[in-house]
Amino acid sequence: MDLNVDIGSLRLKNPLIAASGCFGYGVEYAEVVNLKTLGGIAVKGLFLSEREGHNPPRIVETPAGMLNAIGLQGIGVHRFVAEKLPDLYSQGATVIVNICGSTIDEYVEITRILADADGVNAIELNISCPNIKAGGITFGNSAVGTSEVVQAVRSVTKLPIIPKLTPNVTDIAGIARAAEEAGADAVSLVNTFLAMAIDVETRRPALSNGVGGLSGPAIRPIAVRMVYECSQAVTIPIIGMGGIMTARDVLEFIIAGATAVQVGTANFVNPNLWPKLLADLKEYLSRHNIERVQDLVGTLELTETQVWNSS
Amino acid sequence: MRRSSNSWSYVGMKVSKRDHVSLAEGASKHSCDITVTAPCSSSRVTDDAGRPRPNRSHILEHCEPSRSSRYTANMPVDVDACVTSNVHLSDDYNVVRLDAPKLAVSIQPGQFVMIKPIAGLEPLLRRPFSIFEVLTNRNGVRTGFALLNKRVGIGTELLYSIEVGHRIGCLGPLGVPFTVVAPPHEAWLVAGGVGLAPFLTLAADLRGHGTATTLFYGGRRSADLYYLDAFTQLGVRLVLTTEDGSQGESGLVTAPLERALVASAVSAQPTLYACGPTPMMSAVASLATAHGRPCQVSLEPIMGCGMGGCYSCVVPIRKSGNDPAHLVRACLEGPVFDGQRVVWDRLQHVA
Ligand SMILES: Cc1cc2nc3c(=O)[nH]c(=O)nc-3n(C[C@H](O)[C@H](O)[C@H](O)COP(=O)(O)OP(=O)(O)OC[C@H]3O[C@@H](n4cnc5c(N)ncnc54)[C@H](O)[C@@H]3O)c2cc1C
Ligand SMILES: Cc1cc2nc3c(=O)[nH]c(=O)nc-3n(C[C@H](O)[C@H](O)[C@H](O)COP(=O)(O)O)c2cc1C
Ligand code: FES
């Protein structure tokens, strides 16, 4: 059985990737997860320099999900390369570095540093974090902004570039198309949905930042629809995510058109969910006589009345 | 090792008829009918200046490298632990015992577990709990652990009403443990409310090393002070306070603590350990500073994962002196911190 999937020039052992911000820098999980068995690890979003993030409370649970407003606390790209990357590399992990910038120059500068380091397999452009005021999302909110960041980064690296799209837009397929035209190797989606929870006793927001991003099973049907929508609009691979808890959920994304998937919030519930996800995925493939997981991508069966196209 | 022939859960507590049924069922289904709190043999003794750190400098971000190699972390495991008893201590508090030999093996005092009381999406995330007791069989082999639970919301409510035979997902042991002091140093434990939770295992370990140990324990009223006999049996001296004066001294636990610090001066050389409401821990830490005594506190921020994955649990810690605070992950670099390094006025009061 062939579980390999291709994201541009990068071949993943299997389609299961740990989602950014939900798996630390990967090394935190080395005691419970065999890192090299994952298709990839998208590490916590990195700016050029260290960042403190928001004050607590940073998370709150909501029905079948959670809101977070971490505010991209992080050690910055230099410390990442010096302190975390060698360890990930020596453990055989496939590393996708999630990067954020306040300006296009910052994205470019971080990419240059990563392109020179050993052990970086791909770059995921975080242009979709709902929790910071400047940068990132201001690019991801428009096709023009997305295109500018992707082109600028493209000009300085041959590493696969994967812009990560926000669902907080009216036309996500249009943004995916802009990313493809600007030279992206793949797109990943979705980041979290901008959301709010209120403590009715105090009449204050539950999070110190006021608003946060919704993740977990609550968002899965919307994420699946968005992956399907984008798969109709682009030919580059799609990395789908949003509320995956089980292999059934992984399959839903793959059938909708995702070549690979990321798992975020579910790590918090069950940090070693990977062996079971993989085993159940294999079981499905063999039950359906599918030799290569890539053959399942975008195989949604539709009747005439079910055909739907957003644009 | 100290061993009691009775399960401590029976000592000095209101045990309802229903609880007796649960315990009987638990005992017949499981072999751990004799349970004691075992000294945590794997912990190490250091003097009062030292604090152990996991040998995981690459995952910690603000620890001092010189300390990071002094203690090798035990590997957390994820187990489905069977509930062997659920004893209600009051309308809010209960003690849940769990069969979990693999997890129990390497527990050190001050460490915690992330538990999932019920499968499914509501609640979705695990909840952090201190390890209240390490349970052993008659041969001294560790068979599981107990949790002291206080009902405050959806997850703790589920744990309050959990039935014997139910399985609970438990991930642990996690976090940096307390440093256990040895004679001639004394240990003074300061607990408020459910902050008692990490102190039974700590007291057992301290007493195993022969360290003179005092528990300063405060509650709202007499009925809120639990497990006193268990501490007494370990040879722990008790100093009790209640806000309504129904047992011990009337008022806050920091009052007798302060008097004791003033009186003890040179001879006792106490190390303070505090767990409870944030204002209490903050007060204990400043008393410790004022009297030049070391103080370890166990913080309880909201935690999403317990593994260092989400950055939800950060607390403001300074490296030393008047350094600026860094927000560090309490699940990895804590929950036990040097009280003098916590920047108390920035710490959220979540309780
Ligand atoms: C390291 C550590 C050890 C702990 N040990 C124990 C223990 O031994 N026994 C025990 O009873 N509790 C302990 N707690 C606190 C316990 O984790 C919380 O009370 C619990 O997570 C609340 O879950 P819930 O679903 O009942 O509350 P929710 O329904 O999620 O929330 C109800 C209320 O509780 C508050 N809350 C949520 N998380 C926490 C928290 N971490 N601390 C305080 N309040 C919180 C919420 O803000 C809200 O106001 C510990 C916490 C930590 C971090
Ligand atoms: C606590 C938390 C932190 C996150 N941090 C990042 C981040 O740094 N960069 C990023 O691109 N996405 C981040 N995300 C979004 C996730 O990678 C993912 O897109 C989203 O959570 C949906 O997937 P899920 O439902 O499986 O969690 C974060 C999500 C959570 C819950
Ligand atoms: S609880 Fe997730 S990082 Fe500490």
In SS3 terms, chain A reads as: CECCEEECCEEECCCEEECCCCCCCCHHHCCCCCHHHCCEEEEEEECCCCECCCCCCCEEEECCEEEECCCCCECHHHHHHHHHHHHHHHCCCCEEEEECCCCHHHHHHHHHHHHCCCCCCEEEEECCCCCCCCCCHHHHCCHHHHHHHHHHHHCCCCCCEEEECCCCCCCHHHHHHHHHHCCCCCEEECCCEEECCEECCCCEECCCCCCEEEECHHHHHHHHHHHHHHHCCCCCCEEEECCCCCHHHHHHHHHHCCCEEEECCHHHHCCCCHHHHHHHHHHHHHHCCCCEHHHHCCCCCCCHHHCCCCC
CATH number (3.20.20.70, 3.60.15.10, 3.40.50.300, 3.30.70.330) of A5-53+71-195+213-306 reads 3.20.20.70
Q: Which ligand is nearest to the CA of A58?
A: 2
* Residue A131 vs residue B83, higher pLDDT: B83
Q: Is A83 in Cβ contact with B310 (below 8 Å)?
A: no
- Give the pLDDT of residue B322: 84
CA distance B54 to chain A (A): 12
ipTM of the complex: 0.95
Interface check for B121 against chain A (CB to CB < 8 A): the answer is yes
What value does the mean pLDDT take over residues B314-341? 94
CA distance B176 to chain A (A): 14
- Give the pLDDT of residue B75: 87
CATH number (3.20.20.120, 2.30.42.10, 3.90.1010.10, 2.40.30.10) of B8-42+72-174 reads 2.40.30.10
Q: What percent of chain B shows pLDDT beyond 90?
A: 72
Instruction: Identify whether A129 is a catalytic site residue.
Output: yes
Q: Is the pLDDT of residue B68 over 90?
A: no
- Give the pLDDT of residue A272: 92
- Residue in A28, A53, A70 nearest the CB of B308: A28
Q: Where are the domains of chain A?
A: 5-53+71-195+213-306
- Residue in B77, B125, B309 nearest the CB of A28: B309
Q: What is the pTM assigned to this prediction?
A: 0.90
- Give the pLDDT of residue B268: 78
Q: Which ligand is nearest to the CA of B125?
A: 1
Q: What is the mean pLDDT of chain B?
A: 83
Which tens digit of pLDDT belongs to each residue from B117-172?
A: 999 999 999 999 999 999 999 999 999 999 999 999 999 999 999 999 999 999 99
- Residue whose CB lies within 8 A of the most ligand 3 atoms, among B305, B317, B333, for a mutation test: B305
> What residues of chain A score a pLDDT lower than 70?
131-135, 311
User: Within the 79-138 window of chain A, which residues sit less than 8 Å (CB to CB) from chain B?
Assistant: 83-84, 87
